[in-house]
Amino acid sequence: MPAFVAALTVLAGVLAACGSADSGIVRLSAPPMGWNSWNAFGCGVTEATVHAAADALVSSGMRDAGYRYVVVDDCWFDQSRTADGSLRGNPTTFPDGMAALGKYLHDRGLKFGIYESPSSRTCAQVGGSYGGSTGSTGHVVQDARTFASWGVDYLKYDWCGAPASIDRMKRAFGSMRTALRDTGRPIVLSVNPNSLETNPAVPETVGASGDWSGAADLVRTGQDVYPLWDNAIADRVYVNGSYTIAGIRDTVERSVAVPAHAGYYNDPDMLVIGTSLSTLGFPATASVPSQLPDTQARVQLVMWAMLGAPLMAGNDLTRMSDQTKALLTSAGVIAIDQDRSKPGNRIGRIGDVEVWDRNLAGGDRAIALYNPGSSPATTRLDASAIGIPVGCTATGVLTGRSQPLDGPITVTATGVELYRVHCG
């Protein structure tokens, strides 16, 4: 028996080292991929829009590329609980109810995600864009059982309440995690401990602080990401008040300092590829395009893959351009994101170009050359300096073309090049 126990202990350590996470009975071997309703529809989400998104995931090939979670964000619920305290879908916007929505998704080979808050009100209710006070405070076990009965597979749990310590948030998230486990249904728990953006005493990057193991499967590590290159653009063009947002460059830079922990995945926020500023309350101007330029969209997908981050699309899938679809379904980039290996990291700079490296599970390496600057940069990668032996081959993941490791590589302004290096 002692030897058996010891073997189990070793096995648990191996699983933790592989970065697996669990909500008691969930076992994630890779960061989840899917689609979230917020960036495209906000509080305008309806049963019809979710049906359309699900159908588009299937017809576009995104489901088969790995995007399987369909997460219905804030504002899906009736503004009042039922007489026994239960949640229910908004009868006007989700007339068939949430269990029926779950069946619709499951019938198409998709998974059902939903949104709640451990506070008394959700973020939309706090902000005044949706009525009622239907957060999970006082209803954690009841809500977990309700979600399980609807066939929910994923819960986005968004801290929207008063400022709190990390320990208090961990306890709140952990209570829901336990309640989900006790239902017996595997439900992934994704938490956002960003606290109130309007409170300067609580840093927006609180999710990047400390070790959240045991509290959730996915943990947000910073501000909401918008389809902008950096927050300096937003500060110049828009009046943000005390609400801070982040662009792609801000988020990549902040992620350098966020450590990886066994037991959960760091979540730098959703993909904004193909999303529009106008649907997020920031109209485009002469100096700020409505959507990310193609080079910057590539940066987000590639760098999220290097970080081993969840890939949650947020665009209107029914109006997706062929270019957006091709990028989001890039098999080579997705394979790097889903690799069962530790997240990559920045290992140095060559002039203005950052060099990022990720050791992949099968022995290959992913090398990203990332240019955050506003001018194109031509560089050479010194393979020997980063431990790549002579004779290895590098293939452009997005181009499919071989690249001599000692040859010149031009990286566009605010752009990235990604290579998969194979030796032997």
d(CA 351, CA 379): 7
Cβ-based burial of 243 (10 A; exposed 0-12, middle 13-18, buried ≥19): middle
d(CA 108, CA 398): 29
The sheet with strand 154-158 has its strands ordered as 265-267, 218-220, 188-192, 154-158, 111-116, 69-72, 33-36, 311-313
d(CA 277, CA 51): 23
Cβ-based burial of 392 (10 A; exposed 0-12, middle 13-18, buried ≥19): middle
CA end-to-end span of the chain: 43
Q: Which residues contact 371 (CB under 8 A, 6 or more apart)?
A: 352, 353, 354, 377, 411, 412, 413, 414, 415, 416
Active site residues: 158, 224
3-state secondary structure of 132: coil
d(CA 28, CA 281): 34
* Beta pairing partners, 191: 157, 219
Q: In this structure, what token pair is assigned to residue 346?
A: 């920045």
Residues 189, 219: contact at Cβ < 8 Å?
A: no
Q: In this structure, what token pair is assigned to residue 287?
A: 């100096």
d(CA 122, CA 124): 6
3-state secondary structure of 10: helix
d(CA 345, CA 353): 14
Q: What is the largest CA-CA distance in the chain?
A: 71
Q: Which of 339, 131, 212, 373 is nearest to 192 (CA)?
A: 212
* Beta pairing partners, 28: 21
